[in-house]
Structure 1
Amino acid sequence: MLSGYHAIPNLIGLYAERIDAGDYAGAGELFAHATITSEGRDVRIAGADAARGMYEAWTRRYPDNGTPHTRHVTTNLVLDVDDEAGTGTCRSYVTVFQSLADFPLQPIFTGRYHDTFERADGAWRFVGRHMITDYVGDLSRHLNHVL
């Protein structure tokens, strides 16, 4: 059985891969047993379908390859895991970079994730993600509407 100290960073990495690939259904599946909230906003998204719907409504995908042309870089992971109890938390930073033909590579967003996890039936999964916005750059080519 994989320790939470290995499984949790893998889940965080899978999220970034799926979002950057434009796989909003796959990203949503990571939150099948979780609730997503956002600092300062009345947002409470619960379950895979709701998470997928949120990403589809908020995040633009481009027709050339079906992705948002982004890279989510998650760093500074601070893990607290109780493998015996099957619970864990992780605080991390996220920086989102975007590049398009008419939009040079640049950071467009920085923030933090406060995630909670549990182990169920031998597998680790998200049970909560609280998103905190720190700095916002040019989101005009990333979001379908303004924050």
Structure 2
Amino acid sequence: MRQVSFAFRSPTSGSFVRPAKVNAGMALEEAVKGRYQDDTTIESQHTQQLQKTIKARFVEVVGMEKIGRKQSKLDDLENVILDGWNVYGSGPSDLLALLPRVQELNLSNSLLASWESVAQISRQLPRLRFLDVRFTTNGRQYPA
């Protein structure tokens, strides 16, 4: 039997989380592809199902398909917004090949655990001028 120890703020407190409920996050490449290249037909099916469930009409924005097609060309993107996408780091891919023109990158509310993770991302994107990492973990220790 394996013994596990935990550190808590108080000797009589603690919580357990089911492994299936833990969100380990995703690499930057996976987040970018999920945000900018997901199939819109699947989203359309979900929208139709939701519309039937709540018995309401939805408004369709004219030109959204054109914007979606333009944004799905990752090598043309200059601004990438992944706020809340739980990015933990760069991952194994070559970010320069994936996002050669990126100048602005928003990774706020992510799972970046260290400044080294932030540095690995910025080193691979030489055109990067603005990087938002607000509200990430960044290895900060908070007092009890």
State the TM-score, normalized to the length of structure 2: 0.25
> In proportion to residue count, which structure has more helix?
2
Task: Kindly name which structure, 1 or 2, has the bigger radius of gyration based on alpha carbons.
Answer: 2
